[in-house]
Amino acid sequence: MAKYWDQEKPSAIIVTPKNVLTYYTIAQKLHVGRSAWLDDDGKQRPGKTVSLDVEALMESDIDALKQARSLFGGIATLIYERIELIS
């Protein structure tokens, strides 16, 4: 079976000084990884990455969905506040 990252281009890639966020819309997967690093040979290697299965989250019970909404809503609020501060 083909891997979704080979079948689909990410719809968003966000690179920060310490993280890389990659979202695959069709597969509904959000990868959160550390920044790339250089090995002893000077080759760039990807940082450790985990994946959030958004589709699986949507299959959760109402309590888990409410907790996720609160968590992501809180993160969104922090982002809005930071944008206002630096713009």
- How many domains does the chain divide into? 1
Report residue 7's pLDDT band, with 50, 70 and 90 as the boundaries. Answer: very high
Structure tokens at 3: 């891997």
Q: What is the pLDDT of residues 51-87, one digit of tens each?
A: 999 999 999 999 999 999 999 999 999 999 999 999 9
Q: What is the pLDDT of residues 13-25, one digit of tens each?
A: 999 999 999 999 9
Q: 39-64: b or e for each residue (b if 16 or more CB lie within 10 Å)?
A: eeeeeeeeeeeeeeeeeeeeeeeeee
User: Which residue in 45, 53, 42, 38 sits closest to 4, CA to CA?
Assistant: 53
Cβ–Cβ under 8 Å, residues 30 and 19:
no
> What local confidence, expressed as pLDDT, does residue 2 receive?
81
Cβ–Cβ under 8 Å, residues 56 and 68:
no
User: What is the residue range of 27's domain?
Assistant: 4-86
